[in-house]
């Protein structure tokens, strides 16, 4: 009996050690500086880890920046994904209920399964403000594709979400890899991606002080 208990303890220890090693060497850890204990204790950290992990599965050249706070209107982009197909502004929503919203509505709604209603600002409008400021900061030509994405947690349900504009989409984390496919035109070279990344890196901030200090706030593939 004691032998089996010892084996179980060793296996649990090995699992923890492997998980810790994988996390500490992940792009998300290097990007944010959040420790493995932050990851275990904070649902929001785990959700963003899942988001970044899925973005890393996308094919092609790219850079990822988290929590980009643009100076003029102090507007925040949760994620700026600079991909060879263009610049993608991602507004991330960690929600679990039924989602209702139209592109033109000032507010969207989440209905919890207990029928509790939670209204929130239209994330597509927030993205539009961020895109306008991003164009000014980077001096982008009108021909440069800038995509507005709202990404929700996988465990929510889209009950009535209506979007009509071009380069605008609402999807779940698990759909990210399929969103970027081979049919997308290539608009940015690797050097252009790196330059945009460098220009925006100065606006990257963290929501809280991580345990580990990281000088570089960029994920590269």
**Tokens at residue 19, please?**
């998980």
How would you classify residue 167: left for phi > 0, otherwise alpha for psi between -120 and 50, otherwise beta? left
Predicted confidence at residue 216, as pLDDT, reads 39
Predicted confidence at residue 72, as pLDDT, reads 78
**Tokens at residue 216, please?**
């570089």
Share of the chain above pLDDT 70, in %: 91
Q: Give the angle 153-196-23 at the CA atoms, nearest 5°.
A: 45
Task: Return all residues near 20 (Cβ < 8 A) that are at least 6 apart.
Answer: 36
Sign of the torsion angle spanned by Cα atoms 192, 199, 25, 155: negative
- Going from N- to C-terminal start, the domains of the chain cover 1-41, 59-208
Average pLDDT, the chain: 85
CATH of 59-208 among 3.40.1350, 3.40.50, 2.60.200, 1.10.20: 3.40.1350
Task: Return all residues near 133 (Cβ < 8 A) that are at least 6 apart.
Answer: 70, 72, 73, 75
pTM: 0.83
In angstroms, rounded to a whole number, what is the distance separating the alpha carbons of residues 206 and 67? Answer: 7
């Amino acid at each position: 009996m004691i032998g089996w208990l010892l084996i179980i303890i060793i296996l649990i220890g090995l699992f923890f050690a492997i998980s810790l090693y994988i996390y500490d060497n992940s792009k998300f850890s290097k990007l944010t500086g959040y420790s493995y204990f932050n990851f275990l204790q904070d649902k929001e950290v785990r959700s963003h880890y899942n988001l970044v992990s899925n973005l890393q599965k996308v094919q092609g050249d790219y850079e990822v920046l988290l929590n980009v706070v643009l100076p003029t209107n102090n507007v925040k982009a949760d994620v700026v994904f600079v991909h060879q197909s263009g610049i993608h502004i991602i507004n991330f929503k960690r929600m679990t209920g039924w989602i209702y919203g139209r592109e033109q509505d000032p507010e969207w709604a989440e209905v919890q399964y207990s029928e509790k209603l939670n209204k929130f600002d239209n994330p597509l409008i927030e993205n539009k403000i961020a895109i306008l400021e991003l164009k000014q900061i980077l001096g982008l030509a009108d021909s440069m594709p800038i995509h507005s994405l709202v990404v929700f947690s996988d465990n929510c349900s889209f009950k009535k979400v209506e979007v009509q504009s071009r380069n605008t989409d609402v999807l779940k984390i698990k759909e990210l890899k399929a969103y970027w496919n081979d049919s997308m035109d290539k608009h940015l070279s690797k050097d252009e991606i790196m330059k945009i990344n460098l220009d925006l890196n100065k606006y990257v901030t963290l929501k809280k002080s991580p345990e580990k200090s990281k000088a570089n706030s960029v994920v590269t593939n």
